[in-house]
Amino acid sequence: MDELEMQATMEKMSLLPDRYYIILTPSGEGEFRLTAYDTTDNEYETDEDFNAAFIVQEGVLAMIREKTDEIFTEGVHAIQGQLLDEDKTPIESISENVVKVDFGKKQ
């Protein structure tokens, strides 16, 4: 098992059940790797199976696939706004949705 496979296995083992994950990992200058996980037991056979979280995850993935450059540009603008303390975000609590975790130094 190479290092990338080992990291993927460890990542899967750290996921909680009944959640949808979109994980972005830097992979080079201006590049990233995206991995999406569905840890629910849903089969998605009827309309009731398609909950809001699943639909939003699919929408976000579609937007990333189709509009990567636009999303990147918006990210740059958001960072610039934060640096200038000009929050133009219509959702007041969006900054609270990203939780920064410090795992300490790599061994």
Sketch the domain layout of the chain as residue ranges. 15-89
Tell me: pLDDT of 102 over 80.
no
Per-residue pLDDT band at 69 (split at 50, 70, 90): very high
Q: How far lies 69's CA from each of 13, 56, 64, 66, in Å?
A: 32, 20, 9, 9
pLDDT for position 74: 96
Percent of the chain at pLDDT exceeding 70:
86
pLDDT digits (tens, 9 = 90+) for 27-48: 989 899 999 999 999 999 999 8
CA-to-CA distance for 26 and 87, rounded, in angstroms?
25
Tell me: pLDDT of 18 over 70.
yes
Threshold 0.85, pTM exceeds: no
